[in-house]
Structure 1
Amino acid sequence: MAIAADRGHVHSPERSGAMERLQGLLPKIVLAPSFAAIVVFVYGFILFTGYLSFTNSRILPNFDLVGLANYTRLFGQPNWWLALKNLAIFGSLYIVICSVIGLGLAILLDQKIRGEGLLRPIYLYPMALSFIVTGTAWKWFLDPGIGVETIVRSWGFTTFTFNWIKDSQMAIYTVVIAAVWQSSGFVMAMFLAGLRGIDNEMIKAAQIDGASNFNLYRRIIIPQLRPAFLSAFVVLAHLAIKSYDLVIALTNGGPGRATELPATFMYSYTFTRNQMGVGAASAVIMLIMIASVIIPYIYAEVRGGQSNGR
């Protein structure tokens, strides 16, 4: 019995080492299927789309390489330039207005006003909706036949007109309105988190020195919200570039092609016009635009983390 006990005692470190190795491998084993799925269905299909953009693909993938012909055809399409113009209008207004409204709401809630616990989820609620739901609701609201124009005229203002959704010159701004309504609460949450993270001692010191509220926000508080501004810009720019479902539900790209965006262009050329090569080329251009926004942000975050570690 003593010998058996000694043998068990001798082998116990080996068993504990094996258990430690198994515990170290267990998270990798659990995450391996998800990681493999991401590699195949995300990055694998991104590479496949990039390859298709250099092929003569039409209704089905075709592996005959044609070089940059699809990109030449893409940038020769007037509809593509219209989509880029609309993206510039939509993206710039979307980012600026969401940032201004989000910052204003965050400053309002940061005053410890009564009912903050009720107002915060109300402002955040639109972000919980899908863009399809938002687009459909705003389509009804902005329709001259059943929406705000009809309601205001029923109040006696018979000359009131609000038909932007039917006007090719103004329709893109209805997309801005719907997108801003949905995303401003999310931006508010980002700014509010930034405001709550500012050192109160610094603010109190400025107040003791006689700084007005305007100068307090302009010189101390808002400059310290730079990370929140940067994060909001990255998120909103990403959403603007890939906007598809909101446009489809709200205007379906119309009237005509007045609200065409790169995402709707890509879908129509790939699945409606059976120009898969051109559609893949437009998807690659969209990927480059998103990467041009996200990669500098990631680089700045990594570099900032390294400098803080030093």
Structure 2
Amino acid sequence: MILVAVGVFVIGIGFSVLWSFTSSKLFPAYDFVGLAQYQRLWKDDRWLISVNNIWFFGLMSIACNMAFGYVLAVFMDQRIRQEDLFRSIFLYPFAMSLIVTGLVWQWALDPNLGLQSALRNFGWSSFTFAPLVNAETALYGLVVAGIWQGSGVTMAIMLAGLRGIDSEIWKAARVDGIPTWKTHLFIVAPMMRGTLATAFVLQCVSVVRVYDLIIAMTGGGPGIATTMPAVYVIQLITVRQNVGQGMAAATMMLLPILVVLAVGGLFRWRSRMRQEQI
């Protein structure tokens, strides 16, 4: 079953890359045009805007998810009461469909239904908070929803890493008078490289393929202010019926993931080589 799944996955990627070099429209074709689709792609302002958006969304959401996830993991690692309850609460957003997450945050940020309306009903009639209707702030609303959805699973991964740290390390740090924050930053975090790398890769994958959240919250708007590459690809194939250019865009989306995996593999190989030399 694993071989079948991997085979289908690899074959699918192979055909996607193959069709990116063709002039396929509504249906795939095999009339090769070289790099023409990639040239058209990088001349398309809509694609350029979607790339800028994904960089902003990705950097903000990944950085915040990693930071918040680690802080939550440290909090949970204190052997608090009702730990199972808190873990369920933090993980609940991740268990929800991205469509549901998007709708919840769309309602929360809607000026007629959400926070703005609630506070005005309490008497603050001049209060204004409607980020999703403004092209300059809509991305920030998406980032907030992405953090709410992704920080819980990052917490779970990092909590597993923290629980794997030998308790003698904490005792030695306390005996040496090392502050807790320095222990986490300079001793514990380096020992959790594998855990941090796993969380980082998962966050990168979720950012690159983000689609449901965008459609549910903004539909790519206002205008094209929140269009992301995944939205661009789907619309290019289904609405504009340009399979060739859509596959070129999909191939470009795959490259960052391959780079991250390659860099991670390189670091693991170098670490293994050092251990063998020792």
> For 1:185, which of 152, 175, 179 is the aligned residue?
152
- Answer yes or no: is the 8 Å Cα contact 1:238–1:293 preserved in 2: no
Specify the alignment match of 1:236 in structure 2. Answer: 203
> For 1:72, which of 39, 50, 74 is the aligned residue?
39
Aligned: 1:36 with 2:4 = yes
Q: Which runs of 4+ in 1 moved over 3 A?
A: 298-310
> For 2:140, which of 163, 170, 173 is the aligned residue?
173
User: Quick one: distance in 1 between partners of 2:126 and 2:243?
Assistant: 48
Listed one character per residue, the Cα deviations across residues 37-79 of structure 1 (whole Å, up to 9, x for unaligned) are 541x321121111111111111112211111110000000011
Cα displacement (A) at 1:216:
2.6
Gaps of 5+ in 1: 1-30
| Residue identity in the other structure for 2:238 | F
Specify the alignment match of 1:111 in structure 2. Answer: 78
Specify the alignment match of 1:144 in structure 2. Answer: 111
- Answer yes or no: is the 8 Å Cα contact 1:266–1:280 preserved in 2: yes
| Residue identity in the other structure for 1:257 | I
Task: Give secondary structure in 2 for the equivalent of 1:57.
Answer: coil
Specify the alignment match of 1:226 in structure 2. Answer: 193
TM-score normalised according to structure 1 size: 0.85
**How many residues are treated as equivalent by the alignment?**
277
Change (3 A) 1:285 1:145: same
> For 1:195, which of 162, 166, 178 is the aligned residue?
162
After superposition, the CA RMSD in angstroms is 1.7
Gaps of 5+ in 2: none
Structure (1 or 2) with the larger CA radius of gyration: 1
- Answer yes or no: is the 8 Å Cα contact 1:90–1:172 preserved in 2: yes
User: Quick one: distance in 2 between partners of 1:125 and 1:237?
Assistant: 20
Change (3 A) 1:194 1:36: closer
Specify the alignment match of 1:61 in structure 2. Answer: 28
Listed one character per residue, the Cα deviations across residues 8-30 of structure 1 (whole Å, up to 9, x for unaligned) are xxxxxxxxxxxxxxxxxxxxxxx
Specify the alignment match of 2:66 in structure 1. Answer: 99
Task: Give secondary structure in 1 for the equivalent of 2:22.
Answer: coil
Change (3 A) 1:37 1:101: closer
User: Quick one: distance in 2 between partners of 1:177 and 1:89?
Assistant: 13
Cα displacement (A) at 1:308:
5.0
Listed one character per residue, the Cα deviations across residues 169-197 of structure 1 (whole Å, up to 9, x for unaligned) are 11111111111101101111111111111
Task: Give secondary structure in 1 for the equivalent of 2:144.
Answer: helix
Cα displacement (A) at 1:97:
0.5
| Residue identity in the other structure for 2:14 | L
Task: Name the % identity.
Answer: 38
TM-score normalised according to structure 2 size: 0.94
Specify the alignment match of 2:221 in structure 1. Answer: 254
